[in-house]
Each structure stands twice: as structure tokens, then as C-alpha cells.
Amino acid sequence: MSVSQSARLGRLVAPLAAGVVVATPIAVLALAALSTGWFFPDPFPNSLTTEHLSTILGSSTVRASIATGLRVSATVTAIALLVSWPASRVLARPQMPGRAVIIVLLFLPSVPPAVGLAMGIDVVLLRLDLAGTHTAVVIAHLVPTIPYAVAVLTAGFVRHDRRIEAQAAVLGANDWQRLRLVTLPALRGTLLVAAALTFVVSWSQYLLTALTGSGRVVTITMLLFSALSGGNPSTSGVLALVTGAPATILLALAGRQTTESIAP
């Protein structure tokens, strides 16, 4: 087999293998969610039903937790992007002094164990009399999400040609017009990727939500972890699919936008 044929075969096999790796756990979760009984050593469930799916999705608790999670994650995403945008623009400047130190400091909260970080944030919020509120959960989620937003946006600004903005200014565009008509369209793909990643990180938080929310702010992720300890695979499967749906949709949209932005 020639080198070109091997390369062509690799290009065909690699996406297929990646698809199998991604689709297999999703298929297992779907079967678990629809099964009436699936016990070892049976390779497949004995029978399938949508009863568990309709019951769980019809639960007011589940719907309220989904709404709470969407509200919290959307708020965190908006704030994180607003804060990260100017910071990333500055960090992307050529020969920015102390850039490496700043990036290290940004990711420093991810170094300690998640439990220690969550407890430390909870102590601060308790002293501020914010624990148990949506505000506390949003503030807590900003700690792990802002570094990712800064990293993605900084990479986008590094590739961004600022001479286009300078030319727009020469043509009479003010700051708002340059942002709306030049910078945002140029960085649309990067912004969508940063938003998707920020949302996913916030959406998947369990410890931070449980501790800072004091059990009063309940998201779908918290219900999923509770179901996992309950030993009911059907309930766990349904909640896992529901929990993963928004993140999957956002990441797919971000990937599509990125592919379109780099396509010739």
C-alpha cells in the first residue's frame, strides 16, 4: 500500500473511529433510558418503553431544574464573555508584558482539588451573606469559566488583524460601529466557541452549585448525581441525556461555525 493510499485510508478511518467512540456511550445511555430491565449478562435490554422518559420529562421538579440550570449558565456565559472580551484583547497585544504570569494566575483556581475550591468560595459567599442564592451560584461558576473564555478569546484576538479596525476608523466609523460591523463579525466563530465552552463548564458544575446554592438552587446536574446514587439506570439514563443535550447542541453549533470560518 502506497503512502497516499495509507493517508487516504487514515482520513476515512479516523472520523469513523471518532464517531463510534462518541456514539457508543450515547447509545448505551439511550438504551438504558428506554429499557424496562437490563441485567448482566444480557447484551441488550429485554424490552423498551418511553414510560420513564415521559414520566421524568413531565416532572415539575425536572423542568424547574432545567430552567434553573439554563438561567444560571446563560447568565454566567454572558458575564464571563463581557469580562473576558477586554481582558483578552489586551492579552493578545504583541509583546504584552507579563502575559504568561497573568494566564497562570487565571488558571490558578483549577490547580487545587475541586472540593477545596468549592469550600473556599462557599466560605467567602457565606461571609457576604449570599450563600443559597442564584447570585452566589453565578459568582461561583465565574471562577472556573472565565479562564476558559479568556483563553479562547485571546487566541481569536491573536489571529485578528487589527488593521481592519484602523481602516474602519479612518473611514469614519466610531467605536461602537467598529465593534458591531468589524470586530464582532470577524470574531464570530471564536465568540461562539467561547460561549459554548463557558456554558458547558457552568452547566456541568455540581460541587460548586451544591455548596454555594446550599441545596436551594437545584439544577439538572444535581438531579443527575442524585439519581446515580439511587441505582435506577433508567432514571440515570434519561437525566444524563437531558443533561447532555444543551451542551451537545452548543458544541455542535460551535464546531460547525469554526469549520465554516476556516473553510477556503
pLDDT at 199: 93
Q: Where are the domains of the chain?
A: 50-262
Question: Which residues fall within 8 angstroms of residue 142, CB to CB, at 6 or more apart?
Answer: 76, 79, 80, 83
pLDDT at 146: 92
Residues of the chain with pLDDT under 70: 1-7, 9-10, 40, 42, 231, 257-264
* CATH 2.40.30.130 assigned to 50-262: no
pLDDT at 4: 65
- Inter-residue contact 46 to 37 (CB < 8 Å): yes
Cα separation, 246 vs 52, in Å, equals 20
pLDDT at 258: 65
